[in-house]
Amino acid sequence: MRILFFTDTHIRGNNPANRIDDYMNSLELKIKEIIQLVIDLDVDFILHGGDIFDRPDISISVVNRFVKLFNQFKAPLYFISGNHDIYGHNPDTIYRTTLSLLDIVDVVNMVNREDIFILEKDDLKVQLTGQPYVYDIDGNEKDKYYYPPNIEKHIDYSIHMVHGLLVDKPFIKGVPYTLVEDIQNTPADITLSGHYHSGFKTININGKYFINPGSIARISNTTKEMRRKPKVILLELNDDINIKEIYLKSAKPGIEILDRSKLEEAGYQSERIYEFQQGINSAINFEKLDINEVLMEVSNAENVEESVKKEALRRISEIQMKGLDDN
């Protein structure tokens, strides 16, 4: 069985502030290349790690453009929702989003927390589960989110997709994250992660694989992003697990698509902090409300009851959805 995994496409209708090329055209070329890879490599299933869209209410014209591409995939697509696919860091709003619509019309298969999909080819059975983004995914209950809800009997392999800040080494102080070593006892054979755009080298701990190839979209203009080459992952599952990284040929060098002038003028001492700030601010730009700062403050607030956090996030998501047609 061959499975192709990629993540964080961040489909949007306008150019991120740091891009000097045509972002939509560049993203379209990458997806077309992935479509061809699926054909050339005889891929059986396609997985996406979340943040398909850059905001939950992408315009119809942009959706039409990329749905036509998704329909060209010659294998089933399975997605989890990321923080940019929902309103207010609130997974309960998924039914009001563009991603949910694509699931309803069978363009994609959305994997929710309690879903268990069995992928089959010949005599091989692979369990697929997923954890969409939730505001406390990197809080104190990591096992609850980073471990699959259940492992079915008579399964050859288990894959769990997660949209959380899973990293290979300590991250920025004060920002919730999950280290790979913290979840090394997962019952899943393979943990696939999105959200952290930089990604990390595939990690194998006692036969358990932890994989994040990084976003196929480059939005921030840090030195690391200038050097990073977008890639996808090919999983070959037979009697054992084989993992192959495939760099996208259509992805141009960072120097040709990213503008560093603002960063250099600002003279930030820590590009890593700036990269994180860009990751928060670049996606959902509600002009009248700096919504991302509010979301992060609420999600990461300490000494605040969970019920209070959830109510605050619920109200924020309602503000974001205000004016949408209920029909």
Q: What is the pLDDT of residues 52-104, one digit of tens each?
A: 999 898 888 999 999 999 999 999 999 999 999 998 888 888 888 989 989 99
Q: What is the pLDDT of residues 266-319, one digit of tens each?
A: 454 445 555 555 554 544 344 434 555 566 566 666 666 777 767 776 666 666
Residue in the structure block whose two tokens are 């998501």: 317
Q: Which residue has the higher pLDDT, 34 or 301?
A: 34
Model's pTM, two decimal places?
0.83
Beta-bridged to residue 203, according to DSSP, are: 210
**Exposed / middle / buried, residue 162 (Cβ in 10 Å: 0-12, 13-18, 19+):** buried
What residue type is assigned to position 187 of the chain? P
Q: What is the pLDDT of residues 236-259, one digit of tens each?
A: 999 999 999 999 999 999 999 988
**Packing angle of the helix pair 23-40, 60-70 (nearest 10 deg):** 20
Confidence of residue 18 (pLDDT cuts 50, 70, 90): confident
How many helical (H) and strand (E) elements, i.e. helices and strands, does the chain have? Answer: 10, 14
pLDDT of the residue at 321: 59
CA 120 to chain CA mean position, Å: 24
Q: What is the mean pLDDT of the chain?
A: 86
CA 151 to chain CA mean position, Å: 23
Closest CA to 3 of 30, 53, 41, 35: 41
Neighbours of 296 (CB within 10 A): 18
Beta-bridged to residue 87, according to DSSP, are: 90
pLDDT of the residue at 297: 62
Confidence of residue 326 (pLDDT cuts 50, 70, 90): very low
pLDDT of the residue at 210: 98
